Amino acid sequence: MAEKNKTKIPYEKVDTQYYSQWYNKVIEEADLTDKRYPVKGMNIWKPYGWKLMQNIDSRTRKHMVNTDHEEVKFPLLIPEDEFQKEADHIKGFDDEVYWVTRAGRNELDIPLLLRPTSETAMYPVFDLWIRSHADLPLKIFQMVNVFRYETKQTRAFTRMREIHFFEAHTCHETGEEAEEQIKQDLEIMEKLSKKLCLPNLELKRTEWDKFPGAEYTVGVDSLLPTGRLLQIAGIHQYKTNFAEAYDIMFEDIEGEHKYVHQTTYGMSARLVGAIVGIHGDEKGVILPPAIAPIQVRIIPITYGDKQNDILEYCQKIKEKLESSDIRTDIDDREDVRPGSKFYDSERKGIPLRIDIGSNELEDKTLTLVRRDTSDKKEYQFDELIDKVKHEIKDMEQSLFENAEEFLQENIVDADEISEIDENKIYRIGWCGNRGCGEEIEETTDRHILGTLYDGEQYNGECIICGNEEAEAAYLCKKE
């Protein structure tokens, strides 16, 4: 394995195996997670990693509350008979479910399962909560852990058996209102992805790849340096599929009983995995400023008799930054050399570093270092807040734009199956037939991630059957 300072991941296609080594190394060095828990696919969130996740959750929560969703917390266990009401849903999750069949020494009459997602926990209760149109729309969300028996090789944050999960569930009077909800979810996603610096494609999944039980699914995918797409969110239109299975009806204004129209919006700790993968470099992770647990780390470079004055000056800078709500700390460990402190700050992905030595103390200045570019700039103490805010904004924009450029550069058109041989996203013509779709997937060993949710003009033919009515479909390997 490469040495610490040689684990460079160039910001372009990288070998999958190498990426894996790099990824596992940087998340550990950043102290985000501990993978030594003795159950496969179940890791420990370490304090720094959990703060990061909580910062992401807080942003999500704010968006949800602002769009009239209310937070709930449903039980973890679901009775088997409730789980088995929607046929497609069961088929989709059956192989992944963890069961509780015994309590103490007694076999349970009705086995319980650990939620793999919460439709079957919530919807029997929605039937009780919803009586008339006055109870609609019902918009709730929760942030909980879900369990899925992942059979592929697990990976921290992105492919886990215990998953930190966000799920929003809504019920509406009409199909149009449910469609509007999906648009609102995508707007929230767009705002979030700006702050998380995760440019993405919103793709309407194929029939055979949609969420089990859904009418259709919009997958939100980000591109990893390996050229594989990682799904970071899923938004699902259920129409009345679940309402019919769970008998969720309301009385409309004319007194008529109708099924509610439902949607869901889900995200998970995968967001952390995407951030690590997309923005990391040879030194480790790079955290987007909006969600970084520490946005600025101050490093005193103390020598001899100036030590106390330097520490005092650092404290003054910290207080000033904190008064502007900028998350700041000081690495004031006494027996650690500045070089090691720089290194720690880098591998934790802290966006900005401020170095304070005797020159800065004397001149009332500070040296500001950006994590993503390593640019070093000297500023006056008086301009501290303006400059830090400016750098935060600039860094956020630059992380997003670099990743967006990488994404766009890696979308290539292909007219023939034989052209599809690299780790890129191929835009191909597809007639929409399942037969052609499956042939595309089998011969290229890739997945059709779908067609753009917003739609697009396309003039090519189906890459298999030559049908001229083809749509542009996106083909890629999945993470």
Among 160, 286, 317, 462, binds Zn ion (CB under 5 A): 462
Give the residue with the Cβ less far from Zn ion, 19 or 474. Answer: 474
Among 112, 403, 464, 476, binds Zn ion (CB under 5 A): 464
Give the residue with the Cβ less far from Zn ion, 187 or 415. Answer: 415
Which of 302-310, 375-383, 384-392, 466-474 is the region at the interface with Zn ion (rule: CB under 5 A)? 466-474
The answer to whether 218 and 263 are in contact (CB under 8 A) is no
Q: How far is the CB of 464 from Zn ion (least distance, A)?
A: 5
AA identity, residue 102: R
Nearest alpha carbon to residue 51 among 293, 386, 286: 293
Among 436, 440, 448, 476, binds Zn ion (CB under 5 A): 436
Q: Is 465 in the site for Zn ion (CB under 5 A)?
A: yes
Q: Is 198 in the site for Zn ion (CB under 5 A)?
A: no
Cα atoms in the 13 Å half-sphere on the side-chain side of 390: 9
Q: Is 431 in the site for Zn ion (CB under 5 A)?
A: yes
Token digits of residue 151: 């059979």
Q: How far is the CB of 460 from Zn ion (least distance, A)?
A: 11
Give the residue with the Cβ less far from Zn ion, 26 or 428. Answer: 428
Which of 88-96, 152-160, 278-286, 434-442 is the region at the interface with Zn ion (rule: CB under 5 A)? 434-442
Which of 101-109, 147-155, 365-373, 436-444 is the region at the interface with Zn ion (rule: CB under 5 A)? 436-444
- Reported for 340-346, long-range contacts at CB under 8 A and 24+ positions apart, including other chains, are 341/299, 342/299, 342/369, 343/283, 345/297, 345/299, 345/371, 346/283, 346/284, 346/371
Q: Is 448 in the site for Zn ion (CB under 5 A)?
A: no
Give the residue with the Cβ less far from Zn ion, 182 or 463. Answer: 463
Give the residue with the Cβ less far from Zn ion, 452 or 465. Answer: 465
Q: How far is the CB of 436 from Zn ion (least distance, A)?
A: 3
Question: How far from 324 is each of 282, 361, 389, CA to CA, in Å?
Answer: 32, 22, 9
Q: How far is the CB of 448 from Zn ion (least distance, A)?
A: 12
The answer to whether 108 and 101 are in contact (CB under 8 A) is yes
Q: Which residues bind Zn ion (CB under 5 A)?
A: 431, 436, 462, 464-465, 467
